[in-house]
Structure 1
């Protein structure tokens, strides 16, 4: 279909910043229908400017190659994140999944509501919101990409009747039924994506495509909490409303979904934002992040056509001819600049701009703003209280390489192998791969430079733009902890905020604060004028309900509400007024498993909840296929299936099925159910194959999970009650309510690992 390369503009005052170049693969360059779709995508997305949509700068044709010049995002798509979790057998934190879904919803709501310069609605529907089409940057940005099959009023191509466009598992019921679709179809797709992020499972995936389409057409969706019990009821409700089979029962607009998620994210402590996501990305994809930083240093010295031509000088004759043949050049074979030729003039004579128009000065200004935001993100992250990984298993345990932010390739569409990336492992080919890559830079850089020359009479352009632009100045009381949005784009977090460069016309100003009512006002911005907005936010009325708690009379019991200790008496009961919404109820008692549960409090009503504190011993249900005799710790339990209780979590146990015997510790010990097929039994473990895990935190106590399994223990776990864990790489999670942190623990047989 198309391939994507890293690129950079030449003659820029700062050589550190990159673009991405997407071009049609040569074998599709003569496919008129595909070229029309490619042009449609560019003409559509060049009109979209939103922090959650990848920015398109221009569409052009260079010699026989059509290309789109766009924003470069260093990071991975959501599919890579999902693959990493599946490989590690972990699940994304609820807060992180909510944040990503909110950002996607914000970007799509902007696209859904977008009008052209004449005020006509563009009626954009993406139709392909899927893990491959959402990028997550190392800086915590979330961006929707690939509007290649989007439905919009400005298209020159149209979908034939009976033809489905998009990935089947991410379609909406009405899309499969062949009905006319609107923005609610994308809301359903966001809901599908959200459900999968929360569970790390596919929602609609049949044995074959027809079965998948049937599942989507008549959706029967269970709440994600049936798969991941850590998901609170409020998040369940948001997901299920997004996935309503009848579109009238869904959120009408993606902004409604985003607002619901925003309210949830504002209710958790500490809050989750781009800083947290960026930090997680840097750790989870540490190898790729380091490689990206290295590429950044290597390529920043390339500033001119001369640099590329110098680097592209053919190697000595002893270089492998095979390596030369394997390289990919962006220039047409019969038409390329000669060494010494004026490359900028060459590009000017062979470039046709179809849409957009790259503004180098604007691009550099945007990049500097992003760099400033990145620095602010790092400062915010440094000021947040976090739990650090233990030195026992390295400063960063996330060193898994998933995907390839390659030397020449940012990514390709599924099923298309970038010829440059396929050569990366061959040392003999590497020099010519670099030449191929720098040839790409020549193509992009020279065309960008020429476009800057052709369209970059910046004084004229700025004068024309300024004549049709105005400014809004927003002053808010209170001035902090805000979300200030103008024209659907977040403009700042503190007051005052000045927003210039707004196209003359009607714009919506929206101001959000977790403790105040949302402020909204439509303002008419005149050309060349300044519109002041004074907003005094009104305190949000907090509805209250009544919570009735009860618990068994136990010595030393402690009860917590929203992580804060509650004042309790000796009667085993507590009645108190609390704000409506989800409340986290926790309890601890010596010699008992910790208790943790979310309850939903309704305004003006009594919510009753009974705290149950079970034994710390574990239970296992063991089944086999076919049935066989079962022994645990030498004791016969009869033929399977059987249930065994009273297992000490600090000990290694033995399990015998017929003649097969294995040692049993975590993570299997905490699974609750074990099923074995006797013809496919795994290799048995010995007690000496296990190591041990201890854990501690500096900020209160946390529930401990191993590979996503709640084990009924809290921090600290000392050497006196350490947990037996099979040797290998494991994920240890500290969790409390919606706050969680994952660590990688490399357990070695016979040794103890401290996680803190």
Structure 2
């Protein structure tokens, strides 16, 4: 639908803020109906202002090119994080998954409740909540994108019946079936799908073709995530399953409720997961990308005039064709590498699959002179989004197109171009497009003047966008008066035992309407409708049953099937006494050298004991019923290292116990540090501002930093 560029203002040498420009593809620019819808809906999105939604600044037109100027977010999309975990054969931590999902839910809740200037509800629906549309910045910020083009994009995304909008694997059952009204709760189901995939490291609804994927969504047979990841706690599993309820009436009614439950869990963790943790994870896992991009930023900062643009293109043009040919040759020769899940089965890569987008992507534009290309290192398969200079975190890797080729890992999911390729070999593909600098002609109005001063620096990657706007018009319905029906339900619980408690809860408002004690109960004078029956038994786990009561008597028989798990006492003797104990990721409160844990019998636990300055101890235990167990744990002292790099190279100083010592010149690795201590390092260079960092190690003994030095 659009091409994406990174941009900056020309003739403003001290203005280093980058923006993103989306340019509508020429084949869509001729569609007047599409352009009208696109403009009308983008105008509304310009008014959305929330920290978890990508901000749109300008909507305009230059000659025949319609464009959007929007916020520039340095980082990766959520799909890139998933693929990074998959290559490491790891699953995202529960806390990190909850933090990301809660932030997206906050942005959705704001959009769903948005009103116009007269206070009327807009009834916005994203309709394409998916990993590709969630961006994670290197500073730990989370943004939902493509709110403004969702419904407009559907004009170019017609599939079988021409009515399905979004990626099939992230649709809701009501979207797929076409039955009933599709409202904002469809976005909540899609976010629940994303959350389930983060917790399990697997695709939830994925099949060999589009129709099979749609059938999986329609059936909505969801495995509890704890069956695939035993670290998922019950309260989080309840959140996931509620968000993925096939009936919208049983889901969260608002995304804010979803976010509230996730924040309650995060705040109960010790320590709570915060933006700082996510920022640290991003910088650690994409450290190489950040360093390589940092080396290129000084070049982009020197481009401040149209003449600089020409000089930059001329310098790169001589190298572009040779590098493209060399890269394409290595791409063709690269072996195919498969990805495996945790059970050793071959699984598909989490990518922008064309079978789920319902549309194709144009990968080159003959009207544009791309000018020059560079070789891109093949580290990740997801499109990158580059950080702006001056950000708190060092900038990231160059962007990449949806067509991918990593060293030793080749994936042929590149979309097929709709326009014949030009004769110039530089325009054969944009797989390796690393730089694009293009001056724009002056225009008469304010918006086009702004666009005309933009230097288009980096091609982020053209692609089909699956975000959609949708407006739900609610029409009042007049209902004739009728006699009020009355429902009655008879309940029988087996096995019989004293202490059985039955509770009847009306839906969807979750109000307790009746309760009682005993194995045989009857609740009457009820309104027909949907209820949830909860039965608590002294010897069995609580059973829940969904009921749809009609007029008259209904009989329900409940068989208690799951016996309650018995607990076993385990004693741990710890050195040092201040060590913390985690069982399946959950912190056990306590202090002292001797700790007593009450754990479920016949259940496998992963115990982790850790303390600042010591190497962690990890073991698996399964306690037998009526067999108490003790364990002696003595943690070994750790040794820490710190690696510091800077641009340009400079002197590295270390503060230890209040005294400063020059330890060398960057790049430099400092070894044999005590991880229980807190250190401070400084990078000093004549004519540059000093870079300073306080370093503590916790349970990560190897630290790496890239120090950006700014001139005084």
TM-score by length of structure 2 reads 0.52
Q: 1:667-706 maps to which residues of 2 (within 5 A)?
A: 698=612, 702=616, 704=618
SS at match of 2:49: coil
Aligned to 2:334: none
Which residue of 533, 543, 551 maps to 2:568?
551
Aligned to 1:533: none
Once the two structures are superposed, what CA deviation does each residue of 1:599-619 show, in whole Å capped at 9, x if it has no partner? xxxxxxxxx965679899xxx
Q: Distance in 2 between matches of 1:101 and 1:117?
A: 29
Q: Distance in 2 between matches of 1:300 and 1:168?
A: 41
Answer yes or no: is the 8 Å Cα contact 2:616–2:699 preserved in 1.
no
Note closer, same or farther for the CA distance 1:151–1:27 as it changes in structure 2 (3 Å cut).
Answer: closer
Q: 1:154-553 maps to which residues of 2 (within 5 A)?
A: 163-178=163-178, 179-312=180-313, 375=392, 405=399, 415=415, 437-439=436-438, 442=440, 451=449, 551=568
Q: Distance in 1 between matches of 2:47 and 2:92?
A: 33
Note closer, same or farther for the CA distance 1:318–1:550 as it changes in structure 2 (3 Å cut).
Answer: closer
Q: Distance in 1 between matches of 2:97 and 2:364?
A: 39
Answer yes or no: is the 8 Å Cα contact 2:2–2:24 preserved in 1.
yes
Aligned to 2:146: 146
Note closer, same or farther for the CA distance 1:184–1:88 as it changes in structure 2 (3 Å cut).
Answer: same
Q: Distance in 2 between matches of 1:105 and 1:315?
A: 44
Point out where structure 2 has 5 or more consecutive residues left out of the alignment. 329-362, 372-386, 405-412, 454-564, 621-629, 638-697, 704-712
Using the TM superposition, give the Cα deviation of residue 61 of structure 1 relative to its aligned residue in structure 2, in angstroms: 2.0
SS at match of 1:437: coil
Q: How many residues align?
A: 450
Q: Distance in 2 between matches of 1:714 and 1:126?
A: 54
Once the two structures are superposed, what CA deviation does each residue of 1:357-380 show, in whole Å capped at 9, x if it has no partner? xxxxxxxxxx99x96xx65x99xx
Once the two structures are superposed, what CA deviation does each residue of 1:416-447 show, in whole Å capped at 9, x if it has no partner? 7899xx9xx99xx99x977x6111x6479999
Answer yes or no: is the 8 Å Cα contact 1:76–1:135 preserved in 2.
yes
Aligned to 2:114: 114
Q: Distance in 1 between matches of 2:571 and 2:315?
A: 81
Once the two structures are superposed, what CA deviation does each residue of 1:688-719 show, in whole Å capped at 9, x if it has no partner? xxxxxx9985367856489xxxxx99987779
Answer yes or no: is the 8 Å Cα contact 1:131–1:193 preserved in 2.
yes
Q: Distance in 1 between matches of 2:8 and 2:89?
A: 38
Once the two structures are superposed, what CA deviation does each residue of 1:484-530 show, in whole Å capped at 9, x if it has no partner? xxxxxxxxxxxxxxxxxxxxxxxxxxxxxxxxxxxxxxxxxxxxxxx
Q: Distance in 1 between matches of 2:451 and 2:398?
A: 35
Note closer, same or farther for the CA distance 1:552–1:68 as it changes in structure 2 (3 Å cut).
Answer: closer
Q: Distance in 1 between matches of 2:80 and 2:319?
A: 39
Answer yes or no: is the 8 Å Cα contact 1:302–1:308 preserved in 2.
yes
Q: Distance in 1 between matches of 2:275 and 2:213?
A: 34
Note closer, same or farther for the CA distance 1:742–1:115 as it changes in structure 2 (3 Å cut).
Answer: farther
Answer yes or no: is the 8 Å Cα contact 1:697–1:715 preserved in 2.
no
Aligned to 1:46: 46
SS at match of 2:136: strand
Aligned to 1:22: 22
RMSD: 5.6
Aligned to 1:709: none
Note closer, same or farther for the CA distance 1:214–1:586 as it changes in structure 2 (3 Å cut).
Answer: farther
Once the two structures are superposed, what CA deviation does each residue of 1:74-95 show, in whole Å capped at 9, x if it has no partner? 1111111111111110001111
* More helix per residue: 1
Q: Distance in 2 between matches of 1:321 and 1:91?
A: 40
Aligned to 1:528: none
Using the TM superposition, give the Cα deviation of residue 185 of structure 1 relative to its aligned residue in structure 2, in angstroms: 0.6
Aligned to 1:62: 62
TM-score by length of structure 1 reads 0.49
Using the TM superposition, give the Cα deviation of residue 235 of structure 1 relative to its aligned residue in structure 2, in angstroms: 1.0
Once the two structures are superposed, what CA deviation does each residue of 1:447-497 show, in whole Å capped at 9, x if it has no partner? 988535999xxxxxxxxxxxxxxxxxxxxxxxxxxxxxxxxxxxxxxxxxx
SS at match of 2:259: helix
SS at match of 2:436: helix
Once the two structures are superposed, what CA deviation does each residue of 1:307-348 show, in whole Å capped at 9, x if it has no partner? 324444588999969989x99889778xx9xxxxxxxxxxxx
Answer yes or no: is the 8 Å Cα contact 1:77–1:134 preserved in 2.
yes
- Between stretches 84-93 and 203-212, larger displacement belongs to 203-212
Using the TM superposition, give the Cα deviation of residue 214 of structure 1 relative to its aligned residue in structure 2, in angstroms: 1.9
Answer yes or no: is the 8 Å Cα contact 1:561–1:583 preserved in 2.
no
Q: 1:57-96 maps to which residues of 2 (within 5 A)?
A: 57-96=57-96
Q: Distance in 2 between matches of 1:294 and 1:20?
A: 21
Point out where structure 1 has 5 or more consecutive residues left out of the alignment. 337-366, 379-400, 456-547, 566-581, 597-607, 617-669, 671-693, 707-711, 720-739, 746-756
Using the TM superposition, give the Cα deviation of residue 241 of structure 1 relative to its aligned residue in structure 2, in angstroms: 1.2
Answer yes or no: is the 8 Å Cα contact 2:442–2:452 preserved in 1.
no
